C-alpha cells in the first residue's frame, strides 16, 4: 500500500511538472516530465495488480508501453509529420490493447450487462461523437485523412468496449475505465482540433490534463477489477 501511494504521488508530481512546463513553454523539462509518465503508471500497475499472469495485465502493460512510445514520438511532432504518423500508430496499437483489456477484465456472467436496446442507444451516442469530430476535422486533414479516420474508428471502438463492461465488473471498476475512455476521446479530440483546425488557449495543458487522467483511470479501473476478483 505504501509503495502504491508513493508511486501515485510521484505520478501526480510528474503530471503537475509537465503541465507547468507546458504553461511556461519549457521544452527541456517536458522531455523528462512527459517521458516518465507511462513508465511510472506501468510500475504502479505491476505493484498494484496481483494476478500478473492474466491476459488483461500483460496486455495492459503492453498498451502502456506503446502509449509511452507515442508520447515520445509526439514530443517531436513539430519537427516532422512523420513523428505524428508514427505516434498515431503507436497509440492505435495501445487502443487495440485497451480493447483486449476491456474484454478480458470482466466477469463471465452476462445477466446484469446492458440490454441490447441500451447498448445500441449508448453506442449510437459514442459513434455520433466520434463521427462529429471526424466531420469537423476532415477538410483540414489533407494527406492524413485515412490514418486519422482509422485511428478515430479504433478509439471509438475502445470507448464502446469500455461501455460493454457495464454489469460485467464492479460499478467502481466500470466507472473508472469508462470515464478514462471518454477522457481519452476528449484528449485526442482536443489534440486534433489544436493541430489541424485552430489552436486555442492552453491547448497543451488541457490535452495533457485529460490524457494523464485517462491513463490513470484505466489502469486503476483494471486494478480495482483485479482486487474484487480475489
Q: What is the largest CA-CA distance in the chain?
A: 52
Residue 185 has pLDDT above 60, yes or no: yes
> Taking a C-beta distance cutoff of 8 angstroms, is the pair 160, 126 a contact?
yes
pLDDT band at 23 (very low <50, low <70, confident <90, very high): very high
Q: In angstroms, rounded to a whole number, what is the distance separating the alpha carbons of residues 154 and 96?
A: 7
198-226: average pLDDT: 95
Of 44-58, 106-120, 161-175, the range with the highest mean pLDDT is: 161-175
Name the grid cell of 44: 504502479
pTM for the whole structure? 0.93
CA distances from 200 to 76, 190, 203 (A): 20, 9, 6
The pLDDT value given to residue 116: 80
pLDDT band at 78 (very low <50, low <70, confident <90, very high): low
The pLDDT value given to residue 229: 66
119-137: average pLDDT: 92
From the list 75, 88, 111, the residue with the least C-alpha distance to 204 is: 75
Q: In angstroms, rounded to a whole number, what is the distance separating the alpha carbons of residues 109 and 25?
A: 50
Amino acid at each position: 500500500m505504501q509503495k502504491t501511494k508513493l508511486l501515485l504521488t510521484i505520478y501526480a508530481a510528474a503530471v503537475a511538472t509537465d503541465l507547468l512546463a507546458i504553461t511556461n513553454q519549457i521544452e527541456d523539462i517536458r522531455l523528462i516530465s512527459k517521458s516518465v509518465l507511462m513508465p511510472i503508471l506501468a510500475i504502479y500497475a505491476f505493484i498494484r495488480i496481483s494476478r500478473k499472469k492474466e491476459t488483461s495485465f500483460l496486455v495492459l502493460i503492453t498498451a502502456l508501453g506503446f502509449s509511452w512510445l507515442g508520447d515520445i514520438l509526439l514530443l517531436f511532432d513539430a519537427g516532422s509529420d512523420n513523428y505524428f504518423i508514427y505516434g498515431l500508430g503507436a497509440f492505435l496499437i495501445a487502443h487495440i490493447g485497451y480493447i483486449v483489456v476491456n474484454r478480458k477484465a470482466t466477469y463471465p456472467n452476462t445477466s446484469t450487462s446492458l440490454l441490447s436496446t441500451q447498448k445500441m442507444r449508448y453506442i449510437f451516442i459514442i459513434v455520433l461523437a466520434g463521427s462529429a469530430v471526424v466531420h469537423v476535422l476532415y477538410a483540414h486533414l489533407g494527406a492524413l485523412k485515412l490514418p486519422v479516420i482509422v485511428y478515430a474508428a479504433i478509439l471509438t471502438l475502445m470507448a464502446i468496449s469500455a461501455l460493454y463492461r457495464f454489469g460485467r465488473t464492479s460499478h467502481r471498476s466500470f466507472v473508472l475505465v469508462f470515464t478514462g475512455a471518454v477522457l481519452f476521446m476528449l484528449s485526442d479530440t482536443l489534440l486534433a482540433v489544436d493541430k489541424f483546425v485552430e489552436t486555442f488557449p492552453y491547448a497543451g495543458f488541457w490535452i495533457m490534463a485529460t490524457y494523464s487522467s485517462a491513463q490513470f483511470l484505466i489502469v486503476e479501473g483494471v486494478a480495482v477489477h483485479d482486487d474484487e476478483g480475489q
